[in-house]
Structure 1
Amino acid sequence: MTAAGTTLVVGATGTTGSRTAAQLAAAGHRVRAGSRSGAAVPGAEPAAFDWYDPATHGPALDGVDRVYLVPPPGDPDPAAVMLPFLRRARAAGVRRAVLLSSSAIPAGGPAVGAVHQALPGLIEQWAVLRPSWFMQNFTGTQVHARSIRESGTVPSATGSGRVGFVDAGDIAAVAVRALTDDEAPDTDLVLTGPEALSYDDIVAVVSELSGRPVVHRRLSPERMRDRLAEEMPPEWATVLADLDRAIADGAEDRVTDTVERLTGRPPRAFRALFEKEGIPGHG
């Protein structure tokens, strides 16, 4: 791996940012952990960072030569704040950027797709991580975990469609390689776990490991949209429901070798993750 300066991890208290910061620090790299709270992250220098407060950008970038970028969550037009930041980062001496996107969003697509498309023209060395759906959506306080605990159901509009669910720790491991290898990938990387699973497959594993029945509640995309709109802006609920529709149509039924090719080890399987970390119960 190349000798790096300081890496700014944006979203360092989030699902992939926290793991990326921790893995970088454990490998001996200098890390600045950027978050709205400026919370301490083990092994990293904390820094206040808010996408919507440019006054936090300059101090966060001071002395930084590479960045891990997690877009502002739920923003339908993240390019409005991310592209000015990237121009400022380039002027400040950043020469490598790794962007977290999604397997469902290509370059030039909606939301972060516009940032993906612009990135190669803004930063000399780059990579775009396009992970499939996170296994961690079923853990902690995430929506599926809450639904499992509260009602013993996982609602979706995915039908029988399958997804190559990926562990956030594997995403972070790829991010670390993309940030620190001698040569940047200079491409986008679709990340999946080792198998494509339907939501029926998922609830079967959850039921087995928890010892409690969990049911996949199949909804229409319209009903899923309305349900999500109770918790988030309607336009974002529509986007997520449409992504479920795409899964039902087979858009995410794939696995890639990217995690193993870049990290040298196979990606973690869904069952293995939850055998280690535990399955949420429900009451």
Structure 2
Amino acid sequence: MTVLIIGASGNTGGRLARQLAERGIPVRRAGRAATDVRFDWTETSTFEPAVRGVRAVYLVSPIGVLDPEPVVLPFLAAAQRAGVARIVLLSSSAVPVGGPGPGRLGALLPSYVPEWTVLRPTWFASNFTGRHMHARSARETGEIVSATGAGRVPFIDPEDIATVARHALTDAEASGRAPVLTGPEPLSFDEVAASLSVHLCRTVRHRQVDAAELARRHRTDGLPAEFADLLAGMDAAIAAGAEDRTTTAVQDITGRPPRHFADFLADSTPCVVH
């Protein structure tokens, strides 16, 4: 079986491609540059070549699009015409299947493929590494800024998400699920800042702001107003306790527990004293 990976250069797509290839499963990496097949959400002509001869698809919808349904449905139709049997959609724990925006995609999958899974991970541990805004802010200014208050999040290692996705794409019985994926323990942003302080060898603090100020910061950073408001609202939901829980889904599906945030961070941002 050939697996098409949309977003193969992303946090989960790249890890998933590696895991599948290590197990001898043919992978087709799709993207706008340096991939196996060119793919662009704004060019429907790239859809048919991407899904030709593919049995399963790992689907990451367009980044930053509040309502991806008009963009993604033509792709789902192309996948259906090509005979794609299974689609694993990356969604979010904050978005119920059938809910507004991205939630609609999960509800529509059964209309296009006989086998489907919707992955609903909580916030990524990698939000504090690499080029993410929190990681940049921690390195450059010694602070992370949020509207989460004392709210807690069970941050998840993207490698765990990729492992769940691999099982969802390849296991014969893995279909018709929408698991909420979490790390093993909820952490406040104050606790995250303390961990970042250790691994960046500098003091990092958590600066709390309200949702309105956070939305203004996002707009100043170049995000569209509607998307900035959405992200700020998600922080406010965390403050209200929306993400303060854990599930056993990673363990149930993969057979091993999810990785702790501190372990992920130790590998991703080693402390180097100059």
Range of TM-score over shorter length: over 0.9
Deviates more, 1:183-192 or 1:141-150: 183-192
Give the Cα separation in 2 of the matches to 1:92 and 1:9: 15
What is the aligned length? 273
Match of 1:213 in 2: 203
Contact 1:148–1:280 at 8 Å: present in 2 too?
Answer: no
Match of 1:48 in 2: 38
Give the Cα separation in 2 of the matches to 1:273 and 1:142: 15
TM-score, normalised with respect to structure 1: 0.93
Give the Cα separation in 2 of the matches to 1:279 and 1:189: 32
* Shift >3 Å, 4+ stretches: none
Equivalent residue in structure 2 for 1:30, among 23, 26, 31: 26
Give the letter for the 1:35 counterpart. Answer: G
Contact 1:139–1:280 at 8 Å: present in 2 too?
Answer: no
Deviates more, 1:76-85 or 1:236-245: 76-85
Give the Cα separation in 2 of the matches to 1:26 and 1:277: 22
Give the Cα separation in 1 of the matches to 2:245 and 2:37: 38
Contact 1:158–1:245 at 8 Å: present in 2 too?
Answer: yes
Is residue 2:123 matched to residue 1:133? yes
Match of 2:145 in 1: 155
Give the Cα separation in 2 of the matches to 1:52 and 1:107: 25
* Matched ranges for 1:117-128 at <5 A: 117-128=107-118
Equivalent residue in structure 1 for 2:192, among 198, 202, 205: 202
Q: Secondary structure at the match of 1:69?
A: strand
Q: Deviations over 1:71-100 (max 9, x none)?
A: 110011111111121121011010100000
Is residue 2:251 matched to residue 1:255? no
Note the C-alpha offset of 1:189. 1.0
Is residue 2:264 matched to residue 1:273? yes
Give the Cα separation in 1 of the matches to 2:127 and 2:259: 15
Contact 1:206–1:279 at 8 Å: present in 2 too?
Answer: no
List runs of 5+ in structure 2 lacking aligned partners.
none
TM-score, normalised with respect to structure 2: 0.96
Q: Percent identity?
A: 49
Match of 1:246 in 2: 237
Q: Deviations over 1:181-203 (max 9, x none)?
A: 01123120110110000101101
List runs of 5+ in structure 1 lacking aligned partners.
41-45
Note the C-alpha offset of 1:277. 2.1
Give the letter for the 2:212 counterpart. Answer: E
Contact 2:139–2:200 at 8 Å: present in 1 too?
Answer: no
Give the Cα separation in 1 of the matches to 2:183 and 2:271: 20
Give the Cα separation in 1 of the matches to 2:199 and 2:139: 14
Q: Secondary structure at the match of 1:126?
A: strand
Contact 1:139–1:279 at 8 Å: present in 2 too?
Answer: no
Task: Give the RMSD, CA atoms, in angstroms.
Answer: 1.6
Give the Cα separation in 2 of the matches to 1:216 and 1:48: 40
Give the Cα separation in 2 of the matches to 1:280 and 1:84: 46
Note the C-alpha offset of 1:14. 0.9
Give the Cα separation in 2 of the matches to 1:146 and 1:110: 31
Equivalent residue in structure 1 for 2:17, among 3, 13, 21: 21
Q: Secondary structure at the match of 2:28?
A: strand
Note the C-alpha offset of 1:280. 7.9
Note the C-alpha offset of 1:165. 0.4
Equivalent residue in structure 2 for 1:185, among 175, 179, 187: 175
Give the Cα separation in 2 of the matches to 1:171 and 1:280: 25
Match of 1:85 in 2: 75
Give the Cα separation in 2 of the matches to 1:266 and 1:185: 21
Note the C-alpha offset of 1:244. 0.4
Note the C-alpha offset of 1:279. 5.0
Give the Cα separation in 1 of the matches to 2:205 and 2:175: 41
Equivalent residue in structure 2 for 1:172, among 129, 142, 162: 162
